[in-house]
Amino acid sequence: MSKLKKLLSKLHISTQNFLGYPVSKDFDIDEVLPFFQYPINNLGDPFVDSTYGVNSNELEREVVSYFASLFNAPEDNWWGYVTNGGSEGNLYSLYLAREKYPEGIVYYSDSTHYSVRKNLHVLNIPNITIKSQPNGEMDYQDLHQTISQHRNVPVIIVANIGTTMTEAVDDVSKIKAVLKNLAVQRSYIHCDGALGGIVNAHTPNAKKFDFSANVDSITLSGHKFIGSPIPSGVVIVKKANRDRIALSISYTGSLDTTITGSRNGHSPIILWNALQQFGEHGLKRRVQHCLNLAEYTLSVLKNNGVEAWKNPYAITVVLPPQPKTIQQRWQLATEESMSHIICMPNVTKEQINDVVNHIVNHGNLTFPEKDTNFTDEFSNTSNIFHV
């Protein structure tokens, strides 16, 4: 077999049993395949046409507009673009925050995605890590106490709309209450919604995190919930903040408002097509499927004696750290203290039954000893965390 054929069959097999990373696999690729014959490049700002004509800027603008309106962006004061993923969106948002408040300090919980710490290092912004609660949500008391020691310095917050391991949602209204209580005058709130952004926006009763709660930027990943086969993402920001960094480039005829100059023009087509195929109704149905399946997963795990729990409105089910064989077989992301199953749109009850069987027979049913309090606290999460 040729190397490419071998790789293809390996990818085919490893895509089938894939329960630990937030990737959808039900994406219909046929309509977008013909576009791969062309050197599409959305050079520069999607809202300013450049002299490079082989682009998909128009579809990119529609994708960005869709998310701007989903997140209630202020009508005349938003801007955004299709990125290479959630990490780039975090980098971009923190870049705008730093340009707005060059002397600011960034606060983020210790459950935050690793890209944030790296981006802060790249941007060289002073930052302080805030404790998380056991469910992965920011500890607002610690936030209050920490900011109170730097009240004269602008506050930049990274709020998680779904942390990577437990899909905990930081409560923007509680964060704002902290800022108000300390009379903080200058603040910037960025929401990292890589996986949870779309799920949350389509979940009735979930905590509100969008521009109507007066946040400053939101990012999400396009290959997670939507399921683009190429990593991608979307960042939505306030236009006034983007204007601060805009430079005109005569060589391309566009504005240098994005992190990279040449930009992937296929991803906007893929995302546009997915949004078109699903429609609002389809997206809501996908979210509902995931939520229902997560409830199902939690209940079969518990009924079979596995100490599992999940956050409210989350599609991620947290379980005791599993042995290597189970991690590898199902590609379960695992940290020292936990593993998780993410109930993505394509995951089925049959797969859940299989993985539960495997865990019950060969896996760890309980959390390690040192986490006893932690699990006690979570034996009845629905009472504790439903607001």
Ligand X SMILES: *Cc1c(COP(=O)(O)O)cnc(C)c1O
What is the torsion angle, in degrees rounded to the nearest 10, for the CA atoms of residue 285, residue 291, residue 296 and residue 301?
Answer: 150
Among 41, 50, 56, 221, binds ligand X (CB under 6 A): 221
Q: Note whether 113 binds ligand X by CB under 6 A.
A: yes
Residue 203 sits in the site that holds ligand X (CB under 6 A): no
Residue closer to ligand X (CB basis): 89 or 154: 89
Count of positions on this chain that bind ligand X (CB under 6 A): 15
- Which tokens sit at 135? 């469910």
Least CB distance to ligand X at residue 310 (A):
16
DSSP state of 63: H
Q: Is 16 left (phi over 0), alpha (psi -120 to 50) or beta?
A: alpha
Phi/psi for 249 (5° steps) reads -115, 115
Residue 200 interacting with ligand X (CB under 6 A): no
Question: In this chain, which of 56, 164, 297, 351 binds ligand X, going by CB under 6 A?
Answer: 164
Concatenating the DSSP letter of every residue in 253-322 gives SSB--SSSSS-BSHHHHHHHHHHHHHHHHHHHHHHHHHHHHHHHHHHHHHHTT---B--TT-SEEEESPP
Choose the stretch contacting ligand X; rule: CB under 6 A; options: 6-14, 85-93, 169-177, 314-322. 85-93
Please state the closest distance from residue 237 (CB atom) to ligand X, in A: 16
Least distance from ligand X to the Cβ atom of residue 193, Å: 8
Both tokens of residue 72? 């209630």
Q: Which is nearer to ligand X, 89 or 363 (CB)?
A: 89
Beta carbon nearer to ligand X, 50 or 207: 207
Q: Find the binder of ligand X among 94, 168, 172, 195 (CB under 6 A).
A: 195
Question: To 5 degrees, how large is the angle CA 143–CA 144–CA 146?
Answer: 65
Sign of CA dihedral 157, 111, 205, 180: negative
Give residues in contact with ligand X (CB under 6 A): 85-87, 113, 115, 160, 162-164, 192, 194-195, 221, 231, 233
